[in-house]
Structure 1
Amino acid sequence: MPVISMFYGIIIRMQSEHGGKHHVPHIHVICGDDESVFSLEGEQLEGKIPAAKKKLVEAWIEIHKEDLQANWRLLDEGEQFFKIDPLK
C-alpha cells in the first residue's frame, strides 16, 4: 500500500479497493502500533490512534482534501499516485 505522506510519527497510506470493506474513499493511518482508517471527509471508520494524533490527521485531511481525492481517482484508474505534503 503506497505511503502518501508522513509527519509527527504518523504514516498515511492509500490504495484503491474495488469492492473493499469500507465502500468509501479512505486512507489508512499508522501511528506506532495503532492503526486507523479515515474517510476522505475526515470520519474515522475503523481502528484507533491516540487522540492528539487523531486531531493532527483530521487537520491534515481538511487541508489536503482535494489532493486526497485526486490521488484516490488516480489509484482507482491504475495511475501513479503522488506524495502529499506533510503537516508542518
Structure 2
Amino acid sequence: MPAISMFYGIIVYLYFKDNRQHHSPHIHAIYQENEVIVSIPEGKILEGSIPSNKMKLLLAWMELHQDELVADWQLALSGQQPYKIEPLR
C-alpha cells in the first residue's frame, strides 16, 4: 500500500489491485486514527470519515490532481508502483 501523497497530516494511499471491495477507482486517506475511502474522480465517500476540515482539503487536492489519480489507479490496479503526487500547499 504505497503512500502517494502527504499534506496537513493526511496520508493518501492506493492499494495494489484493490478493485474487489469497492469496484471503482478510489483512494484511502488516513488522518490520525481516522480513515476514509473516496472515489476517483467524483470525491464520493465510499466508507469511513475524517474531520470535515481535513475532508475539504482532501477533496480540493483530489480536484487539482484528478488526471494523476486516475493514472495512478490504473498503475496500482495492474500491480505497478504508482507515482507520487504533489501535496496540497
TM-score when normalising by structure 1: 0.93
Long gaps (5+) in structure 2: none
Long gaps (5+) in structure 1: none
Mapping 1:7-18, distance limit 5 Å: 7-15=7-15, 16-18=17-19
Aligned residue number for residue 32 of structure 2: 32
Aligned residue number for residue 23 of structure 1: 23
- What is the count of residue pairs matched by the alignment? 87
Q: CA-atom RMSD, angstroms? A: 0.9
Q: Identify which range, 54-63 or 71-80, moves more after superposition.
A: 71-80
Amino-acid identity (%): 49
Shift of 1:51: 0.4
Shift of 1:78: 2.1
Instruction: Work out whether 1:64 is the aligned partner of 2:65.
Output: yes
Shift of 1:21: 1.5
Deviation per CA, 1:34-66, whole angstroms, max 9, x where unpaired? 111000121111101000000000101100000
**Structure 2 counterpart SS, 1:17:** coil
Shift of 1:6: 0.2
Partners of 2:12 and 2:84 lie apart in 1 by: 10
